[in-house]
Amino acid sequence: MDLLEMTGKILAYGEICDHCLGRMVGKRSFGLSNDQRGHALRVSHALAENVPFRPHEGTCWICQDLFSRVGDWAGKVEAALEGIEYATYLIGTRVPPLMAESEEMVWSDLSLPSPEPLKSEMNREVGKAVALLTGKEADLANPDVLAILDLSTGEVGIQVNPVFFYGRYRKLERGIPQTHWDCRVCRGSGCERCNFTGKMYQDSVEELIGRPAMELFSAKGAVLHGAGREDIDARMIGTGRPFVMEIVAPSRRTVDLQVLQEAINSSASGRVEVSLERWTRRGEVETIKSDKGYKKYRILVEIEDPLSLNELRSALEALKGVTIYQRTPQRVAHRRADKIRERHATEITCLGPEEGGYSIEVTGEAGLYIKELISGDNGRTRPSLTEILGRPARVLRLDVVQVQSTREE
Ligand SMILES: [Zn+2]
Ligand SMILES: [Zn+2]
């Protein structure tokens, strides 16, 4: 079917606007807008048929003259974004099913090879109008905000995309979980057990960093993505643990990281301390969570019955570098699959006696359970210090002193 025959058939469906007519061949040729395509088809058709030219009048049966209101929609987008800081945006359109079905019916009736959907023309045209109105830039890949035009209700919905920053935290106080834990009794709704906070612990590293951050970003939430996590009763000291913080729905995006770092460190004073390194993107969340770097721990170990330092040192030597078989520890068995893992401790040295026990430094592969490496966990971890010494040993205190990120050597 040639273009003029096709135009005649399309015009026969009913009154149609130049945008909707032009979109039927929307992917043909370049450098034209759809209404220019539609106008040209209409003119060519009148010439070919030698009938009087008649422009579009009345209401388009497909879009109800939606495109004459592009400017209004752009104004609604601008108003909906008031008070929100953004440099880039993307427009999306929720098209009523009937509207989409109307044009799809023509495509399939006439087997059209290159139509463009209404949704994409609307996104583009309103996008251009918003650029003129606001001086901001459209960004298809990574916009700061997304404005959704709901054609049925006439409303614009706004989704503010998160910002992400990368840093390291040190947890200087024991007893703080990394992330917020719902109360076990009420599961977060609030009860007497949790003093109606809905939480098992009053604070978490996530909240201690997140609260001042939410304030500076005027955000709705803050989610911590850590490179692993330490036990609640362990400190995280030394160079700190790498993390990415996701700031949810921020109304402000240009926050000075130095100022933010100071705000966090002064509000979490003495409990958690951060150094913020740079801005990052969502992609790094997965990378950081799957990080398989080595970790270095300093532990205080208690051993039953006295022993010589040499005895202890040779026992530790026997643990170094050998394959350690660890069945999922009893203390985490309720939330982890029961299996046997093979791990290694690359370094393990005794720093000397301390507080009636021994201070020991261990460098281990990601996933090595340190407490069980010492206690043996009733034979579930083998070998263990307990097994080698032939007497019970246990960890009294644990600090993580270094979390290596696999990207740094
Ligand atoms: Zn139309
Ligand atoms: Zn509760």
Neighbour-count burial for 217-232, b at 16+ CB within 10 Å, e otherwise: bbbeebbbbbbbbbbe
The residues whose Cβ lies within 5 A of ligand 2, an ion, are: 183, 185-186, 191, 193-194
Average pLDDT over residues 386-392: 95
3-state secondary structure of 23: helix
Taking only the tens place, the pLDDT of each residue in 158-193 is 999 999 999 999 999 999 999 988 898 999 899 998
CA distance linking residue 134 with residue 126, whole number of Å = 12
Q: What's the pTM? A: 0.84
Output the CA 61–ligand 1 centroid distance in Å. 7
Tokens at 274, concatenated: 């951060």
Query: 156 and 76 in contact (C-beta within 8 Å)?
Result: yes
- Closest alpha carbon to 149 in 167, 170, 169, 129: 129
- 204 CA distance to ligand 2 centroid (A)? 16
- Among candidate residues 299, 271, 246, the one with its CA nearest the CA of residue 176: 271
Residue pLDDT, tens place only, 28-63: 999 999 999 999 999 999 999 999 999 999 999 999
C-alpha distances in angstroms, 306 versus 289, 353, 357, 374, 391? 42, 12, 10, 16, 10
Give me the catalytic one of 18, 35, 144, 231. 231
231 catalytic per annotation: yes
Residue type, position 317, single letter: E
Place of tokens 């106080």: 173
Predicted confidence at residue 262, as pLDDT, reads: 97
Closest ligand by atom to 35 CA: 1
Q: Do 282 and 164 touch, CB atoms closer than 8 A?
A: yes
175: nearest Cα among 199, 195, 203, 197:
203
Contact 326, 376 (CB under 8 A): no
Distance 67 CA to ligand 1 centre (A): 7
The string of pLDDT tens digits covering residues 106-163 is 999 999 999 999 999 999 999 999 999 999 999 999 999 999 999 999 999 999 999 9
